[in-house]
Amino acid sequence: MDKSRTQHFDLLSLGMIVFIAILSLIRFNYLPQYIDAWWHLSCANGYIESGGWVGWSWWDYAPWGRPQVYPPFYHFLLAFLKKGGVSSINAVRVTEVIIPPLFFLVAWYVLRNIVSSFFSFINLLTLSSFFSFYTSISCNVPASLGLIFGFFCWYFLKKKRWVSCALFLTLCFYTHAGVFLIFFVSLFFLLGLASYRSELIRIISGVVLGILPLLVHQVKYASYLQFSFTKEIYFLHFSIFLIAVGLFSLFINVRKDFGTFLFLGYLVGSIIVFVKYPFRFFSAQGAIGLALFSSLLCEKYFNLIKSNLAKRAFIFTLSFFLFFSHTTVDLEGGKPRINLFNSTYYNFLTGRPYALLEARFLFWPQYYYPIVDVIKKNTESFQIISSNLKITAQIFSSLAQRPTSNSLLWEVKTHLPSEAIYKFAKVIIWLKPPNKELNLLRNRYDWENIYENEIAYVFKNSHVKLTVSPIPARIPFKYIYLLLSIFSFIFILDNAKIRKKL
């Protein structure tokens, strides 16, 4: 491809990324938009109170708690932002605003170096216009950070900077274990290329050594892990373009090069990781694999076209369809329906940015902050709060910075007896409307109604005196800072050596 055409696609790509950044920024006051954000914020609060990383989340399902097996990098990031003076809610908002444009910028840049400017442009347009995928990048921040680190791993692998490759893949594990496994699997597909084989074995060995501390901790508490279907399974979104073009490309693609092997590894890794999570495969992180093969087919067809006029017509038609339409088949409540115009850009330009359930905001300050004030006035720092809904308990636990006896992340079990959800709670937030269970509990525990607004009742149990004691950090923040400094030093040294050779 000639230089002027390359520059043309680069300018289009960068313009699209700037537009994505603007779309992301205007959503700031409506964030966070996914329930997991509140759990991550609670973890960051817990680490701050403990003074660093702990392997037992004493702030969840209090007073029993449960193992803390989730990779901690995002929680550290939130903790560092809070320690820097950013409020709890704004710390989450900052990450959810920055991550989407950063992800698309990194993915575009890496794929441009691995394949071509045209390929990375088409991949960027395909993924960013798939509305379900776009919202997942913003909503699932740890997974998105893991994708960024995984793409950097590919970049340094392509540049043959083996140490940097291993560093970023290790960092990916400490951010999101599922995304790490996808990129880890992709490396094995490159073993078919003799020029990479010996160094890949060293990279894989180094990564295994780097992830060992957290992996041993996770294995230790494996009995606490359980599989459970999330409600995402009832809200699947299928991109007709990705599935049709991606699968066709997969079956006809006979190339045996660096990029194709990696892309095939990503697709296989996604199937392994998301076999029980179809939403994540078709509508979120797994869609990248199909997008990569779709882009390969589009590039192949583009290069076969001889006429410049035909090339322009192909680009215009494809870009117009993806930018304004990107038709999907949406499965909502078990009933499929065709959504002709469901592109990210169409939804934003027509005022429909919250068309998907996972894109609707969950933050109503006019209702939340008065309840937070009531909680703080009626509890001590480490007294337990609870709610009739897990998400409500999680929201107010993170905002009021109080431990809770009810929590999210169903994949990790607790031994807390079900009757203890309310027994040890000083304050209980009950989402309206009232029911027979509420009347039974009020009589049993002698709850006092201390506040009420349009969405909830707030009760106080004056008989509860229990206070949870934070567990001291196993790895204090000063050692975490040291580890990050060592990581940065090794990375700089590795790249300095490369530049010296050049």
- Token pair recorded at residue 306: 């001889």
- Token pair recorded at residue 430: 């009950």
**pLDDT value of residue 499:** 56
Res 358 pLDDT > 70: no
More reliable by pLDDT, 336 or 118: 118
Res 362 pLDDT > 80: no
- Condensed to tens digits (0 to 9), the pLDDT of residues 8-56 reads 899 999 999 999 999 899 888 878 878 889 999 999 999 999 999 999 9
To the nearest 10 degrees (0 to 180), the angle between helices 308-324 and 287-304 is 160
Under the banding of pLDDT at 50, 70 and 90, the label for residue 6 is confident
Distance CA(180)–CA(183), nearest Å, equals 5
**pLDDT value of residue 443:** 86
Percentage above 70 pLDDT, the chain:
93
Residue-averaged pLDDT of the chain: 89
Max mean pLDDT among 191-205, 257-271, 362-376, 402-416 falls in 257-271
- Please compute the mean of the pLDDT values over residues 199-217 and round it to a whole number: 94
- Please compute the mean of the pLDDT values over residues 476-495 and round it to a whole number: 92
Res 3 pLDDT > 80: no
- Please compute the mean of the pLDDT values over residues 192-200 and round it to a whole number: 85
Q: What is the DSSP annotation of 14-82?
A: HHHHHHHHHHHHTTGGG---STHHHHHHHHHHHHHHHTEE-SEETTSSTTT-EE--S--HHHHHHHHHH
282-292 per-residue burial string, b: 16 or more CB within 10 A, e: under 16 = bbbbbbbbbbb
- Condensed to tens digits (0 to 9), the pLDDT of residues 345-354 reads 998 888 766 6
Give the CA dihedral 197, 198, 204, 205, nearest 10 degrees: 160
- Please compute the mean of the pLDDT values over residues 234-259 and round it to a whole number: 87
Distance CA(372)–CA(361), nearest Å, equals 18
- Token pair recorded at residue 379: 């509890």
Other beta carbons less than 10 A from residue 398's beta carbon: 27
- Please compute the mean of the pLDDT values over residues 288-305 and round it to a whole number: 93
208 φ, ψ (degrees, to nearest 5): -60, -40
**pLDDT value of residue 318:** 94
**pLDDT value of residue 214:** 95
